[in-house]
């Protein structure tokens, strides 16, 4: 069964909104995520239901099926592999790759993706720290906490970001908070939750709660 690029985008959104298929999502949630009208969403959900990649139960919302999960994970896998390729091989900045990968993820060639994965030496994470599903759809998770949840004197390593918008990534580049940086919380302001952190034992940064809640850390 083939899916259109739009159908793949909807499935990917439903997968993320449902926390990997663990919960139901509403039509309004999908409309907000896809930035479209509820009527358009309803029409697309009907098509996806006919292809048996989602199930809809009145009053309970919709859920992605096992088949739908496989399609969603394939699309996510392709997207994240292309992001790695663009950053590592074509010297794109991490804030430049999302839109290009959005186009490349819809290429339907399993052999191309297998060879891309091999060429990149089977990366486990994309440039934003998100795990890359393997060819069987398995995802390697690792325990992470939001930076704003850490306490004074706790240490860790920045491993991912929740907000992958270009503006946010450019801000992190500007202040020197990058994937892989070692950090220590020096102070936490009770009034607004802002943080003072030490990066790589040499640079002190002050971060608002809005910024720190979008940075994910592997605690040490």
Among 38, 64, 90, give the residue marking a domain's end. Answer: 64
Residue 4 has pLDDT above 80, yes or no: yes
Tell me whether residue 77 is in a domain.
no
**Domain containing 149: what range?**
145-219
d(CA 212, CA 193): 9
Q: How confident is the model at residue 143 (pLDDT cuts 50, 70, 90)?
A: confident
- Alpha helices by DSSP H, listed for the chain, are 5-17, 27-34, 38-50, 66-88, 98-104, 110-119, 166-175, 209-212
How far is Cα of residue 43 from the mean position of the Cα atoms in its chain?
Answer: 26
Partnered with residue 55 across adjacent β-strands are 63
As a whole number, the mean pLDDT across the chain is 94
Full-model pTM: 0.89
Asked if 158 and 181 touch (Cβ cutoff 8 Å), the reply is yes
Choose between 85 and 139: higher pLDDT. Answer: 85
Residue % of the chain over a pLDDT of 90: 83
Condensed to tens digits (0 to 9), the pLDDT of residues 57-85 reads 777 789 999 999 999 999 999 999 999 99
Asked if 37 and 31 touch (Cβ cutoff 8 Å), the reply is yes
Tell me whether residue 162 is in a domain.
yes
Tell me whether residue 55 is in a domain.
yes
Q: How confident is the model at residue 217, as a pLDDT? A: 97
Token pair, residue 47, equals 């098509």
Condensed to tens digits (0 to 9), the pLDDT of residues 103-119 reads 999 999 999 999 999 99
Tell me whether residue 213 is in a domain.
yes
Tell me whether residue 52 is in a domain.
yes
Among 43, 64, 85, give the residue marking a domain's end. Answer: 64
Q: How confident is the model at residue 107, as a pLDDT? A: 95
Tell me whether residue 89 is in a domain.
no
Among 46, 64, 82, give the residue marking a domain's end. Answer: 64
Condensed to tens digits (0 to 9), the pLDDT of residues 175-201 reads 999 999 999 999 999 999 999 999 999
Q: How confident is the model at residue 159 (pLDDT cuts 50, 70, 90)?
A: very high
CATH of the domain at 207: 2.30.30.90
Tell me whether residue 151 is in a domain.
yes
d(CA 220, CA 108): 41
- Closest-CA residue to 106 (of 3, 11, 17): 3
Asked if 145 and 217 touch (Cβ cutoff 8 Å), the reply is yes
Tell me whether residue 70 is in a domain.
no
109-114, long-range: CB < 8 A, 24+ apart: 113/77, 113/78, 113/81
CATH of the domain at 33: 1.10.10.10
Q: How confident is the model at residue 2, as a pLDDT? A: 86
If one counts the domains in the chain, the total is 2
């Amino acid at each position: 069964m083939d899916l259109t690029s739009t159908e793949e985008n909807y499935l990917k959104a439903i997968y993320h909104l449902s926390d990997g298929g663990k919960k139901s999502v509403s039509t309004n949630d999908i409309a907000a995520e896809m930035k479209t009208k509820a009527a358009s969403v309803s029409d697309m959900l009907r098509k996806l239901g006919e292809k048996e990649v989602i199930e809809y139960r009145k009053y309970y919302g919709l859920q992605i099926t096992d088949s739908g999960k496989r399609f969603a994970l394939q699309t996510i896998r392709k997207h994240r592999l292309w992001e790695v390729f663009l950053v590592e091989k074509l010297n794109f900045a991490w804030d430049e790759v999302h839109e290009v990968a959005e186009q490349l993820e819809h290429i339907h060639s399993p052999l191309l993706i297998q060879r891309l994965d091999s060429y990149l030496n089977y990366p486990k994470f994309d440039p934003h720290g998100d795990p890359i599903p393997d060819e069987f759809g398995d995802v390697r998770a690792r325990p992470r906490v939001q930076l704003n949840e850490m306490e004074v004197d706790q240490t860790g390593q920045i491993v991912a970001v929740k907000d992958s918008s270009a503006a946010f990534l450019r801000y992190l580049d500007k202040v020197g908070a990058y994937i892989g940086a070692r950090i220590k919380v020096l102070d936490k302001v009770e009034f607004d939750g802002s943080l003072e952190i030490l990066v790589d034992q040499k640079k002190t940064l002050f971060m608002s709660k809005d910024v720190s809640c979008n940075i994910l850390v592997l605690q040490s």
